[in-house]
Amino acid sequence: MNTFLREDLRKKCSNLFAGDHMADDKIIIACSKCGTKNRIPKNKINDNPICGKCQNPLSGKKTPDRPVDIIDSTFDKEVLGEPGAVLVDCWAPWCGPCRMIAPVLEQLAEEYAGRIKIAKLNVDENPVTASKYAVKSIPTMLLFNSGRLVNTLVGALPKNEIEKHVLSIL
């Protein structure tokens, strides 16, 4: 085989194998609505991709699998700015019932990771937000969807009751 053909073949083969890195340029995002795994190019992640099966918007970020602490100054960004569902647990460290439901909320955060964000607001340290949402007794759980308050739960409710309300906003 002459040198020219060998060089041409080498270029073609290197171009063929160069495509193998293409898989690295994509990430897989599971749809929070139907669970379908979607392959999204990394350079398109900020272009509001949608699920190929159910057409639900895919957010490039996943909600945490554990409750996050929020304060008055981060409330707007962490809750009102969240495009999906958020449960805000209004609590205080001295509150027995609040401490009783904390493990339940941790379980729900883990079970519904990617579908709902669970946030914790210490009302003693953050009176502005507590006052804004008329939190008069604790624990109080505020349920938001797309930045809008849709439900308020008061008291140490059992897991299945909290879960029923969570499912109603997903």
Catalytic site positions: 95, 98
- The residues facing 41 across adjacent strands are 26
Tokens linked to 119: 């946030």
Is residue 39 within 8 A of residue 28, CB to CB? The reply is yes
Q: What's the number of CA atoms in the CB half-sphere (13 Å) around residue 114?
A: 13
Distances (CA, A) of 58 to 63, 86, 131: 12, 16, 34
Which three-class secondary structure state does DSSP give residue 70? strand
Q: How far is CA 15 from the centre of its chain?
A: 39
Strands 140-145 and 116-122: unpaired
